Amino acid sequence: MKITRTAIADVLILEPTLHGDDRGYFMETWRQSHFREQGIALEFVQDNQSKSRRGTLRGLHYQLKYPQGKLARIISGEVFDVAVDMRRTSPTFGRWVGVVLSGENHKQLWMPPGFAHGFYVMSDYAELLYKCTDYYHPEDEFSLLWNDPAIGISWPLLDDSPLLSEKDRCARLLSEAPAYP
């Protein structure tokens, strides 16, 4: 597996090795020893899957008391996946990293605890799988506004307005959002 550090060193792009022939392919999508080699000693406790249609933007979501590290990948379709550093004492606080994940490129994005996560669907539909290092606690979930100019995410929007949930439409600006210490 090829592992690449991004502009925010704690956020990683993982690219599994495909073993294929005319019947199809096989790939190993996660191995604990690869994470340990990168100095990551966290364990995954929950797997999630979502399916969204073209133009949907989900996020940017995070938890404070129960922060979740996430390893995201797409099994079908294509998304622009984003991690925003919400660690107030980090030199990269408020900065973001984005990468195209698809069922074709098999890339995965690792976001450690302390990051907000969101994605935008660029194909007709996309199915996202992600492993989490803590359980989902709805009472502890916060949303960061997807188009906050202080963050300046360059979303590859296909239309003028993405499809948003009410929660994401009413999310907070970075300047108003609670952050990790």
| DSSP-assigned letter for residue 13 | E
Measuring CA to CA, which residue among 5, 26, 22 is closest to residue 14?
Answer: 5
The pLDDT value recorded for residue 178 is 95
Measuring CA to CA, which residue among 26, 51, 50 is closest to residue 132?
Answer: 50
Superfamily the domain 2-169 falls into: Jelly Rolls (2.60.120.10)
Task: Report how far residue 101's alpha carbon sits from residue 78's, in angstroms, rounded to the nearest whole number.
Answer: 6
Question: What is the average pLDDT score of the chain?
Answer: 94
Active-site residue list:
61, 130
Residue 103 has pLDDT above 80, yes or no: yes
- For residues 164 and 23, the model is more confident at 164
Task: Report how far residue 82's alpha carbon sits from residue 7's, in angstroms, rounded to the nearest whole number.
Answer: 12
Residue 33 has pLDDT above 90, yes or no: no
Q: Is the whole model's pTM more than 0.95, yes or no?
A: no
Q: Using one digit for the tens of pLDDT, what is the confidence trace for 114-137?
A: 999 999 999 999 999 999 999 999
The pLDDT value recorded for residue 34 is 79
Q: Using one digit for the tens of pLDDT, what is the confidence trace for 78-95?
A: 999 999 999 999 999 999
Residue 32 has pLDDT above 90, yes or no: no
Q: Using one digit for the tens of pLDDT, what is the confidence trace for 34-44?
A: 778 877 888 99
